[in-house]
Amino acid sequence: MESVLFPDETILPPRTEMLRAFTERDGSCDGLFFAAVTTTGIFCRPSCPARKPNPENVEFYATAREALFAGFRPCKRCAPMEDAKRTPEWARALIGRVEADPDRRIKDGELRAEGIDPAAARRFFLKEYGLTFQAYCRSRRLGDAFQAMKGGGGIDDAVFDHGWESHSGFREAFGKATGMPPGSARDGDFIRLAWIETPLGPMVAGATEEALCLLEFTDRRMMEAQLETLRKRFSRPLLNAESPVFDRLRTQLGEYFRGTRKEFDLPLAYPGSDFQVRVWDGLRRIPWGETRSYAELAMELGLPPGASRAVGHANGLNRLAILVPCHRVIAADGGLGGYGGGLWRKLRLLEREGSVTKLVEKGKGRR
């Protein structure tokens, strides 16, 4: 894939790729470029649901600012000037309240009294996190209850200290979520889940008692499959709960996005096939500020050139975005290649690591 470097250090894919994404309403390219329609004077996101114009009437810009300066106005349907990846303030505040007091029940009536539509909250949490707001709260309470019982607390304490109104309701919810009775909690463990805010959108993190085992952008299409893989690989239920390792993760991600951290020193767990683990280990050895093609990574791993497709497949199954830097693997011709979290995020990560110029240099001669 060829690339074009613009004065503000952003790059664009080739026109054919952008036309394909715009025509197919490919949401993974939102933020990567903007499409401007010369016959209407409007510019849009790639995923805009409006009827698509003839290709000869479309121009592409790296930023909304460039489209505005070129005389185009933002589309009212896809609102390209708004940050679609940012968590709404009401949702951010709601998550903050739950985290500040996970055991307190927040009922629909309370949401309405505060001007929040319970149906809107349900839809937002279901879309972004894969479960409704009430299910999120319930999972959070269950996670804390599991932690308490694992630490030696009694079932009565777990029921009444964590927002449950009856033993039967607690036992039913606990059984559905974990597949075990509450009395077995002291001998079991679970995968803790938490949501992490980043400049590129919210991420879901997962951790065992000892190590991080998941870090994905919440809108990744494979999220549900990744969570199911975690259940199978670790043979443990997944519940919302906090962990000291999440505090370290938030601190180190903040440093990474501010440009003061180039390497992470967090405990990681990523079980897989021998080949997959070999590839993921190889990804961790790609230095900050550098990229590899799939073929180059295969060569570094001592694999034959024909293994690049298998390497790419294992790369796509990585469950620890950023920490196991699969975004540093690009196409053989110097283009971005693919990325489960969306190409726009891959570009932004490479920009932060100073790899954009090198990316363009690899693509020279193919313009």
| pTM for the predicted model, two decimal places | 0.64
pLDDT at 340 over 70: yes
Q: 4-46 pLDDT, tens per residue?
A: 333 344 567 788 888 998 999 888 788 778 999 999 989 999 9
Helix axes 167-178, 133-150, angle to 10 degrees: 90
Rounded Cα–Cα distance for residues 332 and 123 (Å) = 40
Distance of alpha carbon 343 from the chain centroid:
12
Give the whole-angstrom CA distance, residue 283 versus residue 320: 11
Residue 261 has pLDDT above 60, yes or no: yes
Q: Which residue has the tokens 């440093």?
A: 255
pLDDT in tens, 40-72: 989 999 999 998 999 999 999 887 778 877 778
- Centre a 10 Å sphere on the Cβ of residue 297 and count the other Cβ atoms it contains: 25
Residues 6+ apart with CB under 8 A from 298: 304, 305, 307, 308, 311
- Cite the active site residues: 326
Contact 4, 361 (CB under 8 A): no
Domains of the chain, with CATH numbers?
Answer: 4-74 (3.40.10.10), 88-188 (1.10.10.60), 194-367 (1.10.10.10)
Residue 192 parent element (H or E): strand 191-196
From the list 6, 34, 23, 28, the residue with the least C-alpha distance to 337 is 28
Helix, strand or coil for residue 268?
strand
Question: Alpha-carbon dihedral of residues 315, 321, 323, 325, nearest 10 degrees?
Answer: 40
% of the chain residues with pLDDT over 90: 30
Token pair listed for 123: 């839809």
CA distance 5 to 97: 43
Q: What's the pLDDT at 5?
A: 32
Instruction: Give the three-class secondary structure for 130.
Output: coil
